[in-house]
Amino acid sequence: MAAIIEPAAAAIAAKTEEQWDEFVSGRYREGKSEEEFRVYDAQANPGVAEFYRINHAHQTLDFVLAKEAEFLPLKKAEMGIWEAADFLNNLVDDSDPDTDLSQTEHLLQTSEAIRKDGHPRWMVAAGFVHDLAKVLCLWGEPQWAVVGDTFPVGCAFSSKVVFPEYFAANPDVTHPVFSTKYGIYAPNCGLDKVHMSWGHDCYGAKVMEPYLPEEAIYMLRYHSFYACHREGAYSYLMNDHDRAMFEWVKKFNPYDLYSKGRAKPNIAEIKPYYDELFTEFFPAKIAW
128-136, 162-170, 189-197, 244-252 -> range binding Fe ion (CB under 5 A): 128-136
Residue 21 Cβ vs Fe ion, minimum distance, rounded to whole Å: 7
Q: Which stretch binds Fe ion (CB under 5 A): 8-16, 49-57, 130-138, 149-157?
A: 130-138
Q: Which helix (H) or strand (E) holds 214?
A: helix 214-222
Query: Applying CB under 5 A, does 112 fall inside the site for Fe ion?
Result: no
In this structure, what DSSP letter does residue 101 have? P
* Segment near Fe ion (CB under 5 A); pick from 22-30, 169-177, 229-237, 253-261: 253-261
CB atoms within 10 A of CB 100: 16
The nearest distance, CB 268 to Fe ion, in angstroms, is 22
Asked if 237 contacts 152 with a C-beta cutoff of 8 angstroms, the reply is yes
- Size of the residue set binding Fe ion (CB under 5 A): 2
Cβ of residue 150: shortest distance to Fe ion, in angstroms? 9
What is the distance between the alpha carbons of residues 231 and 226, in angstroms, rounded to a whole number?
7
141 binds Fe ion (CB under 5 A): no
Question: Cβ closer to Fe ion: 112 or 131?
Answer: 131
The CB-of-24 to Fe ion minimum distance in angstroms stands at 9
- Least distance to Fe ion from the beta carbon of 259, Å? 7
**Cβ distance to Fe ion smaller for residue 181 or 250:** 250
First to last CA, the chain: 10
Q: Which amino acid is at 59?
A: Q
Q: CA 220, CA 203: separation in Å to the nearest integer?
A: 9
Rule CB under 5 A: choose which of 17, 18, 131, 215 binds Fe ion.
131
DSSP reduced 3-state for 186: coil
- Residues in the chain, overall count: 288
Pick 242 or 256: Cβ nearer Fe ion: 256
**Interface pattern 157-196 for Fe ion (x via CB under 5 A):** ----------------------------------------
* Sign of the torsion formed by the C-alpha atoms of 274, 287, 106 and 217: negative
Nearest to 248 by CA among 120, 108, 152, 113: 120
User: H-helix or E-strand containing 87?
Assistant: helix 81-88
Give me the helix-helix angle, 121-129 and 240-257, nearest 10°: 70
Binding segment (CB under 5 A) for Fe ion, from list 34-42, 51-59, 126-134, 158-166: 126-134
As measured in angstroms, the least distance from the Cβ of 255 to Fe ion is 9
Helix, strand, coil percentages for the chain (3-state, nearest 5): 60, 0, 40
- Applying CB under 5 A, among 84, 105, 256, 274 the residue interacting with Fe ion is 256
The site for Fe ion (CB under 5 A) is made up of: 131, 256
